[in-house]
Amino acid sequence: MKRRTCLAGALGALGTVGLAGCSTPPVGDALIQLNHQAADALLQGVSLDPRQPVLIATLVDLDDLERSSRWGRLASEHVAARLANRGVRVKELKLRNQIFMAQASGALLLSREVTDLSLEHDAQAVVVGTYTVGGDTVYVSLKLIRPEGNTVMSAHDYSFALGERNRALMR
């Protein structure tokens, strides 16, 4: 399992950068780029079968795994888009009637559901993630999980400054 840190202001290359040097939180295209880099990091060193899909769960609040936000739903959309553009077969769960989707939460995949859903959709992997706000910083953890045995294939952690626009997305 690999672990990298990418902080706001480090949008050009993955690596470690001190948050103290970041004066503006990522918004708009910078937030998209940050989430795309996180998706790229998940793919590093992992071999996926292009014939089998990957499921993307909505990123959830670390303190309440059954709750998300507009930011959590948006981040999962960014990750899904990047993986699809990188040639990964991403299964769109929002088009499936048999999967319960709480309008306020999105596609929440709790550990007990990962195996069942992955078998139903013949998914080779599931992307899950959590976020939490600590002061003026958002901390995000993404994992690419193999459904058999809930094994973590890859992981990526990053953080960014909260700011007013991102704070509004967290509500």
Kindly report, residue by residue over 152-161, the tens digit of the pLDDT.
Answer: 999 999 999 9
Given this model, what pLDDT does residue 27 score?
A: 63
CATH hierarchy code of domain 5-9+27-170: 3.40.50.10610
Closest listed residue to residue 73, CA positions, set 84, 61, 63, 64: 61
Q: Are 16 and 84 in contact (CB under 8 A)?
A: no
> Which is higher by pLDDT, 163 or 99?
163
Crossing angle for the helix pair 29-43 and 70-85, to the nearest 10 degrees:
60
**2 band by pLDDT with thresholds 50, 70 and 90:** very low
> Which is higher by pLDDT, 19 or 102?
102
Q: Which two tokens stand for residue 143?
A: 């994992």
Q: Are 158 and 7 in contact (CB under 8 A)?
A: yes
Sorted by where each begins, the domain ranges of the chain are: 5-9+27-170
Mean pLDDT of 100-126: 63
The pTM (predicted TM-score) of the whole model is 0.76
